[in-house]
Structure 1
């Protein structure tokens, strides 16, 4: 009898620690569509700049509105969902984004455009914490790798922004944003398959996960240590986000101005940066499960800083290979930082996700506003040179405590 009980226990533990790839791929695909809808906003910048006669500071305000709407709400949604997970919030978030896509296509002025962007941001804010909880439940014992699959979906969605500019928005103009409604509808259909699994997994595993976190063999870190570590982590992601805001929102205008590229040709280096970031996110998550989260974050920052510093000073032919290396290395630590935060805060998956992918990442929108005003007041060359030092702040990762895998 004891042998049978042990066998049952072993099978139960195997199922608990197994990675549910079908759910991971489904939620990652929804993440792709969610972030594609966000990318529609930035992909429209070259078109909107001309059609609505926007200044660079106004473009910065659009990026700020998108990021701040999602970033301020994500930790709030995370706190609520940690107390009461709500699977139904996933399709509701997508519906909000659908409204935003419709608004983007028809907005006749700057202020109505901002209102449409608010709906897109709210949809993203609702989706991300709940999406991260789905990933956490489906991850089994491969948390960093599973988080990388999820983040690859989002990064891939952002990567498509320049391609959308070239293929859709330059030929069709602002009205081309309406196709984003089809993305939202597709995402809702997929989520209708994910939500039942999510409900069952919460009922079967959420209590066990909380008990495991509360009764972990390793004692929890002191609250002061956790607060310090989270502060450093937020600062690192914040610096990466400001640098990402410089590249994602203004680098296309910089290469037009500096190298004389057309709007279409200017999308190529941006696309390369984002595409390399997708690959970096995936491989960074795989490597972090082997060498540790803190080491992976340090490798990402230390490796990316020299390329960021040299990028504004390169001839055009060197821009392409260097920006690929920069995107790959810089983004290899992003999904890892999310998992590290979740392991610092056991039992608070939504809060940790909201804090890192929401507040810290979204505060990059503030960078877009500041950088837009600096570009208008000075030059894009000045802004790019200034931002190139931002990845150096990632060296603060040396001060982070060791990984807390057992306590997650």
Structure 2
């Protein structure tokens, strides 16, 4: 039976699980950094450098996208969970800094080869419900970022730093299962030519859309970085306990999973731009509600902020993968590069602002900055 246009829940779920099992390993780095400082004596500057190294391969995403269209890119999605699992699970037992850098770099390269073609695969199996498919896809990644730190620190608590290597078989098993279930999904079947001129034309036609998306991401990224990366520091600076700060971050990430899950499906029904409008207004309004409340009201505002803050992810993925082009992998790689680079830059910018202006003032500035995404959304075509 022809499944074109159908929402293939089995393969959609499998790709969601694949995203989870890949990203849970990349989420090991941040919680391992304090332990690596003790075991290897690395500085905070070197710790930050490792984060940059892991993101550096995203600069090659357009090349990965072009390569994916000339090869059987489904194998990138199938085998990268195993590669990332091996690299990140060996990080705690790296014998020296050079090996540590190479392992982190390997995980970053593997991550690029996974994230460029996998949304295109999701589009292929989502039929005419692309928004819902992208919601499933993003939920896998968000759950991984929540579960990764818990899993790796739990392993260290039980077995020490060497215990992290026990996660390697799980990543290999995930790739084996993906091989038998995804090996027949082609995502490059319609591409007959890889001429540079064709890619240049695609880039020029796609540029107005990716520019709008980049502006929206830029205005919202500082607020997202402030909440997802610096929230524990912000709350403890206000006098809250470390326990409360940790719980607050877990609550935010949990709300983000829910917002991610429903946003794409909602955008299928009310339109992509309307969903972006709601998120562009709701997130900063609720963010300021979080800043000026305390106790249970503050927790409620944080939950609501998380629902709107993460909602744009699946909507952007749906917009990019609905773009009419023969080079879906290439345009998706441009989007992924834009997302990762803006996120990396804004994490550093918020940190610098926090050092020089205080986090309290920085939070107010980034909240106000997020409102500037609204006119950009209004100028986008429906």
Shorter-chain TM band: 0.7 to 0.9
Q: What per-residue deviation string (whole Å, max 9, x for no partner) do you get for residues 284-317 of structure 1? A: 1111111111111111111111122343444354
Q: 2:247 aligns with which of 265, 268, 274?
A: 268
Task: Note if 1:42 corresponds to 2:30.
Answer: yes
1:16 — aligned with what? 4
Task: Give the SS at the match of 2:127.
Answer: coil
Task: Give the SS at the match of 1:388.
Answer: helix
Task: Note if 1:159 corresponds to 2:146.
Answer: yes
Query: Across the two proteins, how many residue pairs are aligned to each other?
Result: 373
Task: Note if 1:337 corresponds to 2:316.
Answer: yes
User: How far apart are the structure 2 equivalents of 1:22 and 1:313?
Assistant: 44
User: What 5-or-longer segments of structure 1 have no aligned partner?
Assistant: 1-10, 209-220, 403-408
* Aligned pairs (5 A) from 1:95-106: 95-106=82-93
Q: 1:250 to 1:61 in 2, by over 3 A?
A: farther
Report if the CA contact (8 A) 1:63-1:369 is conserved. Answer: no
User: How far apart are the structure 2 equivalents of 1:137 and 1:61?
Assistant: 37
Task: Give TM-score, length-normalised by structure 2.
Answer: 0.85
Q: 1:90 to 1:360 in 2, by over 3 A?
A: same
User: What 5-or-longer segments of structure 2 have no aligned partner?
Assistant: 193-200
User: How far apart are the structure 2 equivalents of 1:207 and 1:49?
Assistant: 48
RMSD over aligned Cα atoms: 3.1
Report if the CA contact (8 A) 1:106-1:174 is conserved. Answer: yes
User: How far apart are the structure 1 equivalents of 2:113 and 2:203?
Assistant: 28
Task: Give the SS at the match of 1:44.
Answer: helix
Q: 2:172 aligns with which of 163, 167, 185?
A: 185
1:247 — aligned with what? 227
Task: Note if 1:148 corresponds to 2:148.
Answer: no
Task: Note if 1:78 corresponds to 2:58.
Answer: no
Shift of 1:129: 1.7
User: How far apart are the structure 2 equivalents of 1:291 and 1:198?
Assistant: 30
Report if the CA contact (8 A) 1:156-1:278 is conserved. Answer: yes
Deviates more, 1:142-151 or 1:72-81: 72-81
Task: Give the SS at the match of 1:141.
Answer: coil
Q: 1:225 to 1:358 in 2, by over 3 A?
A: closer
User: How far apart are the structure 2 equivalents of 1:306 and 1:234?
Assistant: 21
Task: Note if 1:401 corresponds to 2:362.
Answer: no
1:212 — aligned with what? none
Report if the CA contact (8 A) 2:156-2:163 is conserved. Answer: yes
Task: Note if 1:303 corresponds to 2:265.
Answer: no
Task: Give the SS at the match of 2:117.
Answer: helix
Deviates more, 1:388-397 or 1:266-275: 388-397
Task: Note if 1:348 corresponds to 2:323.
Answer: no
Q: 1:160 to 1:222 in 2, by over 3 A?
A: closer
Report if the CA contact (8 A) 2:123-2:321 is conserved. Answer: no
Report if the CA contact (8 A) 2:135-2:260 is conserved. Answer: yes
Q: 1:237 to 1:369 in 2, by over 3 A?
A: same
Report if the CA contact (8 A) 1:64-1:369 is conserved. Answer: no
User: How far apart are the structure 2 equivalents of 1:342 and 1:176?
Assistant: 39
Task: Give TM-score, length-normalised by structure 1.
Answer: 0.80
User: How far apart are the structure 1 equivalents of 2:369 and 2:160?
Assistant: 34
2:114 — aligned with what? 127
User: How far apart are the structure 2 equivalents of 1:188 and 1:28?
Assistant: 13
Task: Give the SS at the match of 2:230.
Answer: helix
Report if the CA contact (8 A) 1:66-1:117 is conserved. Answer: yes
Deviates more, 1:338-347 or 1:120-129: 338-347
Q: 1:345 to 1:267 in 2, by over 3 A?
A: farther
Q: What per-residue deviation string (whole Å, max 9, x for no partner) do you get for residues 156-210 of structure 1? A: 11122453476445666644543442442232122212332214x765xx479xx
User: How far apart are the structure 2 equivalents of 1:85 and 1:169?
Assistant: 38
Report if the CA contact (8 A) 1:273-1:324 is conserved. Answer: yes
Q: 1:178 to 1:389 in 2, by over 3 A?
A: farther
Deviates more, 1:372-381 or 1:350-359: 372-381
